[in-house]
Each structure stands twice: as structure tokens, then as C-alpha cells.
Amino acid sequence: MPIRVAHVGTGNVGRIALAHLIDDERFELTGVCVSTDAKVGKDAGELAGLEVVTGITAINDLDAVLADKPDCVVYCAMGDNRPIEAMEDVRRILAAGVNVAGSAPGMLQYPWQVLPRKYIAQFEEAAEQGNASLFITGVDPGFVNDLIPFAFASTCQSIEQVRCLEIADYATYDGSTVMFDVMGFGMTLDEVPMLLQPGMLGMAWGTAIRQLAAGLGIEIDNITETYEREPAPEAFDISAGHIPKGGVAALKFEIFGWVGDHPAIVIEHVTRLRDDLRPDWRRPAQEGGSYRVEITGEPSYVVDICPTSRKGDHNYAAIAAGAGRVVNAIPAVVDADPGIRTTLDLPFVTGKGLFRIPS
């Protein structure tokens, strides 16, 4: 019997996740909730970019979607610039007795020691009230910051440091809110965007650092952050819009999780809008972009993850990987005990039910 699933959010991540839900026989789509008026009334198949008619039309009423009593909601609404609203959405869904698997809000990926206890308690109480579980895998994609490091760490005799990297050209990424408002591309070096405000990097990626630390059985004493930006040598256009001369065109940041005076866990991002910018920064393992996990220990590892797709470039492939992690976790999330669940709690998801013989 298929799992009844409703879907919230049809942006870059949500559109791909929705297509997966429609195509996968493990799931029955019960409803779609959107925030853009122009999408209201459109069929889910159209919103997912598929040539199918599902009979499920999009609405902008979360309560109405929940009234159909789905087993799970896939939550892919924007959380970067509306974290309070996204967290309230998730709390409401749990309290209504519906499980949640999602890409946002990222702070719920592993909220302990990141969010104040009183906020975490709201979600735990809602989950208990609704007998529902919550799994937020985050973005980057999230599995590069937890699943992959844990898989290789499990083979080590000793570990000194775990470093997770995203190295990518974002010129083809068309998410203007993330690119301009959150990350600050195109801004002057005198302006400080949302993501680079003091403490924001540590909060956004602190969940990944705290989760890795929990899996490794270590206590993080402090989280610090650094960043560098590079201005555009001349004006040019990208998919999300225009970058003026002197506007930020490359960004590098690192978040460090310290044990004493040793950086035990590091998250590093190198984001360019042109390949020729800052050649001294890390380079991807494939054209356009890749991910990397470095474990220093015995043995040590350098693991390059190079997502590709038949439907788009490296940016599309990375988003598809993040969305796939969310959707494929649904059966485990539905079966999980009530509460906030993480990669450390869920069973290993193997890709069961996904095999297809190519046509």
C-alpha cells in the first residue's frame, strides 16, 4: 500500500522532489501547497515539469492540505530567508499528526546546542502530541555533511579531523533570493548580506558540525567562522541576474568546530560565478562543481563526489541529490518513533525500490 504524501514548496528543490513523488510507486500524492499565487490551481505534474496530469492541483492553504490526513509531508519551502515561518509550518504539521521529511528549515537538521532548548521543546511537544516524526536533511546537499563522512569514518582506526567541502560555480543557479539576498552576490564589499552577519554561518552549519560531533562521540567547545569575497573584474550576467563590476562574484567561507584548540570538524564552501576567479582557492574535481569529504586519521581519505544528471548541469544534479535524500527517507521517517530524528537515528537508506532497467 503506497504511503500517502503531501508536498509543500515547488522551488528548485521542491520541484525535483515533487517529480520524484509523482513517479515513485511507493507514494500516493495527496496534495500540494504553494506560496506563489501564479502556481495556485496548476496541476502537480505541471509544477514538477512532467508531462502527466495527476489531478492534484496546487493550493496555498496548509491546513487544507493537512485535512486530507497524509502520512507524511515533504517540506521544501524556502527556509533561508523565512526561518521563523518555516519552523512554525513544521510545528503545525507535526501537531496535526503528520510526519515531516524536508530540506528546510536547516536549523532542525540537528538543533541541539544550536537552538535554545525552549524552541526545541516546541517541536518535541508537537511531535509527541501528533505522534509524528521529523527529519530535516538540509542542503549542500545535506548527505555530504553527515551520511558520507559517517560511512568512511566507520572504517577508520583513528580520526583527527573531518572536513566537508562544496566547490561549485553557481553561475547557472537561478535562485535569486539565495544568490543575492542570502549570499550577497553582486553586493559591494562594504555590504554584509544575511549569511555573513556575525554568527549566521555558525548557526546555519552548526547543525552539521554538531551532528558530526555526536556521531564521532566528541564534544565541540566552540564554533568559529571566516570568509573571503572577491569582486567582479567587470560586469557580467548569470542565470539569477546581473553582477556589476566590483560586486561580489566569488565567496569562500569556513566554519570550524573546535575541540580545545584543535579544529576537529570543518565545513568549507568555495562558490564562484566564473571559473577564472580566485584560482588559488580550491578547485572542483569535475567541471562546474563537486563535493569533497576529507578525513585525516588512520587511514586518511579524500573522497570526491561528482554529481551529474541527464536533466541538467552540476547545480541541478546536486539539488536532485538533496531532494532524493529527502524523498527516499520517507518510509523510514514514517516508521520512526515520534520526535526530531536525524541521520544518527534513521536506519541506513539503501535505495530500495529505485532500480530501473534503462529503456
pLDDT at 118: 94
122 and 150 in a single domain? The answer is no
* In a domain? residue 347: no
44 and 119 in a single domain? The answer is yes
152 and 74 in a single domain? The answer is no
Domain count, the chain: 2
Q: Three cell numbers at 358?
A: 534503462
pLDDT tens figures, 144-153: 999 999 999 9
337 and 218 in a single domain? The answer is no
pLDDT at 359: 81
258 and 278 in a single domain? The answer is yes
Those residues of the chain that have pLDDT short of 50 are none
* In a domain? residue 350: no
36 and 165 in a single domain? The answer is no
* In a domain? residue 108: yes
* In a domain? residue 351: no
* In a domain? residue 10: yes
pLDDT tens figures, 293-321: 999 999 999 999 999 999 999 999 999 99
pLDDT tens figures, 36-46: 999 999 999 99
pLDDT at 195: 96
254 and 178 in a single domain? The answer is yes
Tell whether pTM > 0.85: yes
pLDDT tens figures, 122-175: 999 999 999 999 999 977 878 999 999 999 999 999 999 999 999 999 999 999
CB atoms < 10 A from the CB of 110, how many?
27
Distance CA(341)–CA(72), nearest Å, equals: 14
CA dist 44 → 61, 76, 272, 287, 301 (Å): 15, 14, 34, 33, 42
334 and 256 in a single domain? The answer is no
130 and 220 in a single domain? The answer is no
41 and 115 in a single domain? The answer is yes
* In a domain? residue 81: yes
* In a domain? residue 252: yes
* In a domain? residue 161: yes
pLDDT above 90 covers a percentage of the chain that reads 96
Query: DSSP assignment of 7-35, as one string?
Result: EE--SHHHHHHHHHHHH-TTEEEEEEE-S
Distance CA(175)–CA(12), nearest Å, equals: 7
Residue-range definition of the domain harbouring residue 15: 3-137+329-341
